[in-house]
Amino acid sequence: MSILVNKNTRLLVQGITGRDGSFHTSKMKEYGTNIVAGVSPGKGGQTVDGIPVFNTVEAAVKATGANTSIIFVPAPLAGDAIMEAGEAGVELVICISEGVPTLDMVKATAYLKKKGIKLIGANCPGLITPEEALVGILPGNIFKKGNIGLMSRSGTLTYLMVSLLTQADLGQSTCVGIGGDPVAGLYYQELLQMFQDDPETDAIVLIGEIGGEAEERAAQYIKEHVTKPVVAFIAGQSAPPGKRMGHAGAIISSGSGTAEEKIAAFEAVGVPVARLPIEIPQLIKKLLKIN
Amino acid sequence: MKIHEYQSKEIFSRYAIPVTKEIVCYSADEVCAATEKLGLPVVVKAQVLTGGRGKAGGVKLARTLDAAREAANQILGMDIKGYTVEKVLVAQGVKFNSEFYVGLTIDRNTKSVILMASKEGGVEIEEVAKDNPDAILKFPIDPDLGMTPFFARKIAFALFDDFSLVKQAADLFQKLYKIFLETDASLVEINPLVLTDEGKLLALDGKMTFDDNALYRQPGIEALNEPTEDEKKEIAAHESGLTYIRLEGNIGCMVNGAGLAMASMDVIKHYGGNPANFLDIGGSSSPKKVIDAMNLLLSDKNVKVIMINIFGGITRCDDVARGLVSALDQMKVDIPIVIRLSGTNAEEGLKIIKDYNLPTVNSLSEAAQEAIRLVNLPN
């Protein structure tokens, strides 16, 4: 099982001929992801790494049966690329592009919702089901198959957490980077429910950061719907108020969105919060009663 | 990106939203001339890119010409939260009998533009939000439909009984939504929106902020940007692919990724140290980026030690190591550096560092503790 991506994923890469698109296509392929097509308008008929390139997502889906699309196009074009994937009828869209205008995301998320298609990102590192499918820019070698589900608003902090888990012999079912933008696709609630329903996931790690109130909502959702153990970490405990720390989402505004408030929200519903990344594996082992 | 009140109201005017008659002034003489032109009374308002002007004494009512001059002299040059007041807005005094709040922003939860409105407008709106959240009505706007006439009327009926006011308000909401979309705003706010003695709705104040990600397609908005000295440094960093925010401490940090950079600062704080900055060198780093980053860190004289924490994903550790070595070859660095590399090409990176005779550490906790130890060494 696992969630969202697995051995049955048939991946399409939008922006496959670009610098980042072609580099990560080869990395994902090397990991064993089943990449069936690429799209790059005007470059249909070419191949990249032996993968056929199409002019439109619709043509690619028709010819290859792709069910998942990953997007590497420049930010000004990303909103449109998301909608193109949605219109062509894939089941899941992952947008890696960073710096997408918020109103483009408002439009794109509304369209995908109407079509019943799942979106992850934008401005995210993608996701991985270890030993089955890597759909994103995560470094595959730090992951290990197992029963811990992980979701995070940050990229490299996820890598740090995963390597700590792997070192502690805690493998992962699926790890999802949801991205740090104000308007994004799947968020904590949806993923918590998916992990809750996934028989291969026994515990959940939630990595949040300052800004917004998504962590507070997640805490409430956990209280009402999640019976599996959850542990959390919040980045930005030392951030000064009102400064943007690289993620548009990480803005502390007038008394809401601070690390303190988020930590309190989780602890109030019985979710332990690590103060240092290194405490995460110990907290999980304690909850799962592993020595 | 933020703009001033007078700039926001210029945009409102372009969309035919009624605003106070007003003139921007840079000196007391200009304020007097503006006052004579507008007629007494006037309100003299500091124009600074931060909130809380009123409470800081940056807004004054003047009933005489002398009072206007005195207000100008007091406000021009005043410091408000670290911003020096260089210009004031002289606005015609308006008689009104009630104050409302209207704001449009992005709602992360519904993933849409949301209109917030309240009958309790004025300076205390943040208190209202805290103490009586139900007094602020919230209307998420369906991005497919937009601000349709019926939806605008629905909001207006929630605020007003008099149908002539409902019509004015509905028209205003439609215009504000249009402004929000057409300027790629992240906030459009009128507080207060007043009902004048003549029965007209009027924007007494205005505030707009914009989506930085969309500035590339908003040249007219970008031209209004007035960055502070610190922000200029941040913008220059951004142009070389770095995100830099200066803080007060003495441990210079160089990290890849915003979340990891924040976590690195948290760990330094946890062990009792003080980060000098937030610095995210981003993904796909080239050696040149590392050189730029080193220059940025060394330009802060408070920095006593540099801590480098890299977890390679897109970023390759050997690129960072090569950049660091060539930076050290080019510049004089007389403060210690603590290095931790992990992830993509870490082995190659660590070898380059070792060959250069620089020490490395194995974990973030170790890096933070070592940096703190070095900062605390007697000179």
Give the CATH number of the domain where residue A164 resides.
3.40.50.261
Please say if B15 is a catalytic residue. Answer: no
| A147: in domain | yes
Q: What is residue A254's predicted lDDT score, i.e. its pLDDT?
A: 40
Q: Are residues A167 and A247 in the same domain?
A: yes
Among candidate residues A121, A150, A167, the one where a domain is terminated:
A121
Q: Are residues A156 and A280 in the same domain?
A: yes
Distance from CA of A159 to the nearest CA of B (A): 7
| A3: in domain | no
Q: Are residues A283 and A235 in the same domain?
A: yes
A-B CB pairs within 8 A amount to 169
On chain B, the residues whose CB falls within 8 A of the CB of A152 are: 259
| A97: in domain | yes
Distance from CA of A82 to the nearest CA of B (A): 15
Q: Walk me through the domains of chain B, giving residue ranges and CATH numbers.
A: 1-19+96-226 (3.30.470.20), 21-93 (3.30.1490.20), 229-375 (3.40.50.261)
Give the residue from A156, A188, A261 with the most B CB atoms within 10 Å of its CB, the best one to mutate.
A156
Residues 23-52 of A with CB under 8 A from B: 24
| A157: in domain | yes
| A170: in domain | yes
Among candidate residues A121, A151, A186, the one where a domain is terminated:
A121
Q: What is residue A248's predicted lDDT score, i.e. its pLDDT?
A: 44
- Write a three-state SS string for chain B: CECCHHHHHHHHHHCCCCECCEEEECCHHHHHHHHHHHCCCEEEEECCCCCCCCCCCCEEEECCHHHHHHHHHHHCCCEECCEECCCEEEEECCCEEEEEEEEEEEECCCCEEEEEEECCCCCCHHHHHHHCHHHEEEEEECCCCCCCHHHHHHHHHHHCCCHHHHHHHHHHHHHHHHHHHHCCEEEEEEEEEEEECCCCEEECCCEEEECHHHHHHCHHHHCCCCCCHHHHHHHHHHHCCCEEEECCCCEEEEECCHHHHHHHHHHHHHCCCCECEEEECCCCCCHHHHHHHHHHHHCCCCCCEEEEEEEECCCCHHHHHHHHHHHHHHCCCCCCEEEEEEECCHHHHHHHHHHCCCCECCCHHHHHHHHHHHHCCCC
Q: Are residues A154 and A195 in the same domain?
A: yes
Among candidate residues A121, A156, A178, the one where a domain is terminated:
A121
Residues 131-170 of A with CB under 8 A from B: 137-139, 142, 152-160, 163
Residue showing tokens 């919230």: B138
Q: B213 and A75: CB-CB below 8 Å? A: yes
Low pLDDT (below 70) residues in chain B: 123, 283-285, 379
Q: Are residues A274 and A150 in the same domain?
A: yes
Please say if B36 is a catalytic residue. Answer: no
* ipTM of the modeled complex: 0.88
Distance from CA of A270 to the nearest CA of B (A): 23
Q: Are residues A174 and A201 in the same domain?
A: yes
How many structural domains comprise chain A?
2
Q: Any chain B CB within 8 A of the CB of A288?
A: no
| A131: in domain | no
Give the residue from A118, A153, A210, A238 with the most B CB atoms within 10 Å of its CB, the best one to mutate.
A238
| A284: in domain | yes
Q: Are residues A84 and A207 in the same domain?
A: no
A248: domain range?
139-288
Q: What is the pLDDT along chain A (291 residues), one digit of tens a residue?
A: 689 999 999 999 999 999 889 999 999 999 999 999 999 999 999 999 999 999 999 999 999 999 999 999 999 999 999 999 999 999 999 999 989 999 999 999 999 999 999 999 999 999 999 999 999 999 998 999 999 999 999 888 999 999 999 999 999 999 999 988 889 999 999 999 999 999 999 999 999 988 888 899 999 999 999 999 999 999 988 887 666 555 544 444 444 678 899 999 999 999 999 999 999 999 999 999 887
Q: What is residue A253's predicted lDDT score, i.e. its pLDDT?
A: 44
Q: Are residues A108 and A61 in the same domain?
A: yes
Q: Are residues A79 and A26 in the same domain?
A: yes
Look up the CATH number of the domain holding residue A23: 3.40.50.720
Residues 180-209 of A with CB under 8 A from B: 180, 182-183, 207, 209
Q: B343 and A275: CB-CB below 8 Å? A: no
| A267: in domain | yes
Distance from CA of B158 to the nearest CA of A (A): 26
